[in-house]
Chain A
Amino acid sequence: MNAWEKVNMARGADRPTSQFYISAIFDSFVELHGDRNFRDDQAIIGGIGLLNGRAVTIIAQEKGINLQEKSLRNFGAVHPEGYRKSLRLMKQAEKFGRPIVCFVDTQGAYCGVGAEERGQGEAIARNLAEMMQLKVPVISIILGEGGSGGALAIAVANKVFMLENAVYSILSPEGFASILWKDSKRAEEAAEAMKITASDLFELGIIDEILPEPKGGAQNASSEMAERIKEKLENELNHLSRKSEDWLQKHRYKRFRKF
């Protein structure tokens, strides 16, 4: 598959989204809503679940699966209050010593009037700075689309994993082509040039590991994919949970300092 085909797969209507993985991987999930300031942004699902008995805070971008739900969830495009909800739950996790697992799947932070009025830039910036200092393990997994700062705002993690056919980019290929070549129709060409696939990003050191997908993509055997993610999370959390707060902070800082 070339990069553009992966973009299309990552955006595909049949690609399993965060809510599927949450229910398949975690037991007793309790969803926690709201940023305590403005509203509950449903483009982000947040809450606590058990991973084989271990309490974990989960932050997940969710695009929705049918038209009605997609509209409710703003197609996974997060508003500032979504990032603020994430940060609230992450600080809560830190208070109670829970590891944090983030699922990334967004075209990007929402570009709208309300988002600007309520400080989209500030909300993302705050997450980047605060996540860097968290005293608990943080793991982020790019499930589908990792769209720019809107994805990074929940991906300042100790470990960043990526599904084999997911993409993670500085901007959508359409936007990139439009800015650099003044022609959004050259998106396919842009996708190739931008190095946005899991294998390209692994080579650049942007991600730590690629999670292989079942033949033909995660949608063909979604339970198998969920099982693979679960196993990976268990292994990593077993490892990271033994580390000190100081080690976790320094490890995360170094991970991003190298770029």
Chain B
Amino acid sequence: MLKEIMEKKKVQVKKGKNNRKMPKVDIPADMFTKCPGCGKGVYRKDVESAKKTCPNCGKLFRMSAVERIALIADEGTYVPFKNDIKHADPLGFPEYEAKLSKAAAASGLPEAVVSGKCEISGEKAIICVMESKFMMGSMGSVVGEILTSAIEEATERRHPVIIFTASGGARMQEGMVSLMQMAKVSGALAKHNEAGLLYITVLTDPTTGGVTASFASLGDIILAEKGALVGFAGRRVIEQTIRQKLPENFQSAEFLLERGFIDAIVDRDNQKEMLAKLLKMHK
């Protein structure tokens, strides 16, 4: 699964014959970006101003955790929780530390999820947002701990929890300790649930593997972004198992909506409003 997602990120620029005849113009390298949906080059500025949506085909670009919080939380209300981030390396896995440093540099975050409290149109909530740029949002012991602490805090203070998921699943480099995080986070949610509190998940691209098979699927209300890949097993793994090609929309948010596993697909323009509305209804 991870592998597939990683590979999708590789953008290849084809050098056609026509390109050679073009006069040389100095274009800043980051002025254009290629849409992962239609493949067309689009102005980065246009994408940014449209909440990271392709102006050509409407495909949603992945949002960073920081961008997401800016989209959802009322300005100045987000207060991150302090987390003591001590990475464990239970397998003594070769180059894991280097990989973590690289991921931190790529994402600007110490781990693949952030947590904090905020207000959404004045409604208090505890919010966790996963960061796909950090090792594809994979869940190791630190991610599990950040989520669990935030949920426990919510249970104690009787606050709702909102989690934006984006993850390739359990983090392979921590072996079984990663798998245990699925039970740990789900257990914390079970207690939050028993306390009669609201939990909303928003599934974003991609949400797969051990994250789908734990907290992503446990929301009282499950929302998703259009076109998001959401599933348990990797596409390639399934194709190898059944020896058939899968249809294009298999494991998309739309597919899940049709099969009855999510409540609604919500545009970025309406996400904040929708969350605020739901929070108000559960006061």
Contact of B214 among A128, A170, A252 (CB under 8 A): A128
Contact partners of A149 in chain B: CB under 8 A? 170, 179, 182, 209-210, 213-214, 232
Contact partners of A110 in chain B: CB under 8 A? 241
CA distance A111 to B180 in the complex (A): 21
Contact of A257 among B1, B93, B184 (CB under 8 A): B184
CA distance A37 to B97 in the complex (A): 46
Q: Are A128 and B259 in contact (CB under 8 A)?
A: no
Number of interface residues of A (CB under 8 A): 48
Question: Are A257 and B148 CB-contacts (below 8 A) given A121-B216, A124-B232?
Answer: yes
Q: Are A125 and B218 in contact (CB under 8 A)?
A: yes
Contact partners of B191 in chain A: CB under 8 A? 133, 253
B66 within 8 A of A: no
Q: Are A204 and B90 in contact (CB under 8 A)?
A: yes
Q: Are B251 and A170 in contact (CB under 8 A)?
A: no
Contact with A along B145-166 (1 / 0, CB 8 A): 0001000000000000000000
B231 within 8 A of A: yes
B233 within 8 A of A: yes
Return the chain A residue nearest B238 by Cβ.
Answer: A111
CA distance A187 to B80 in the complex (A): 41
B278 within 8 A of A: no
B246 within 8 A of A: yes
Q: Are A256 and B238 in contact (CB under 8 A)?
A: no
CA distance A176 to B171 in the complex (A): 11
Q: Are B231 and A116 in contact (CB under 8 A)?
A: yes
A1 within 8 A of B: no
Q: Are A128 and B186 in contact (CB under 8 A)?
A: yes
CA distance A109 to B182 in the complex (A): 15
Contact partners of A175 in chain B: CB under 8 A? 237
Contact of A125 among B2, B179, B186, B188 (CB under 8 A): B186
Contact partners of A119 in chain B: CB under 8 A? 217, 259, 261
Question: Are A256 and B213 CB-contacts (below 8 A) given A112-B241, A116-B233, A119-B259?
Answer: no
Contact with A along B180-221 (1 / 0, CB 8 A): 111110111111011000000000000001101111111000
Which residues of chain A from 220 to 259 have any CB-CB distance to chain B below 8 Å in the complex?
A: 252-253, 256-257, 259
B8 within 8 A of A: no
CA distance A212 to B214 in the complex (A): 32
Contact partners of A121 in chain B: CB under 8 A? 212-213, 216-217, 231-232
Q: Is the interface of B mostly helix, strand, loop or mixed?
A: helix
Q: Is the interface of A mostly helix, strand, loop or mixed?
A: helix
Q: Are B172 and A171 in contact (CB under 8 A)?
A: yes
Contact partners of A152 in chain B: CB under 8 A? 179-180, 182-183
Q: Are B141 and A259 in contact (CB under 8 A)?
A: yes
Question: Are A124 and B213 CB-contacts (below 8 A) given A116-B250, A171-B172?
Answer: yes
Contact partners of B177 in chain A: CB under 8 A? 204, 206, 259
B38 within 8 A of A: no
A156 within 8 A of B: yes
CA distance A196 to B263 in the complex (A): 38
CA distance A116 to B250 in the complex (A): 9
Q: Are B187 and A156 in contact (CB under 8 A)?
A: yes
Return the chain B residue nearest A128 by Cβ.
Answer: B186
A169 to chain B, nearest CB (A): 7
A52 to chain B, nearest CB (A): 30
Return the chain A residue nearest B141 by Cβ.
Answer: A259
Q: Are B91 and A194 in contact (CB under 8 A)?
A: yes
Which residues of chain A from 129 to 168 have any CB-CB distance to chain B below 8 Å in the complex?
A: 129-130, 132-133, 148-149, 152-153, 156, 168
Contact partners of B90 in chain A: CB under 8 A? 195, 204
Which residues of chain A from 177 to 232 have any CB-CB distance to chain B below 8 Å in the complex?
A: 178-180, 182, 193-196, 201, 204, 206
| Residue among B172, B179, B209, B214 having the largest count of chain A Cβ atoms under 10 Å | B179
Q: Are B178 and A170 in contact (CB under 8 A)?
A: yes
Q: Are A132 and B148 in contact (CB under 8 A)?
A: no
Q: Are A128 and B2 in contact (CB under 8 A)?
A: no
Contact partners of B184 in chain A: CB under 8 A? 256-257, 259
CA distance A121 to B231 in the complex (A): 7
Question: Are A132 and B183 CB-contacts (below 8 A) given A124-B232, A193-B93, A195-B91?
Answer: yes
Q: Are A195 and B176 in contact (CB under 8 A)?
A: yes
Contact partners of B187 in chain A: CB under 8 A? 128-129, 132, 156, 252-253, 256-257
User: Can you identify 24 A-B contacts, CB atoms within 8 angstroms?
Assistant: A109-B232, A112-B238, A112-B241, A116-B231, A120-B213, A120-B233, A121-B212, A124-B217, A124-B232, A125-B186, A125-B213, A132-B183, A132-B187, A133-B191, A171-B172, A176-B172, A179-B2, A193-B94, A194-B91, A194-B175, A204-B177, A257-B187, A257-B188, A259-B180
Besides the contacts A109-B232, A125-B186, A125-B216, what 20 more A-B pairs have beta carbons closer than 8 Å?
Answer: A110-B241, A111-B232, A112-B241, A113-B250, A118-B259, A119-B259, A121-B212, A124-B213, A125-B215, A129-B187, A132-B186, A149-B214, A152-B179, A170-B175, A175-B237, A179-B3, A180-B172, A206-B176, A257-B148, A259-B141
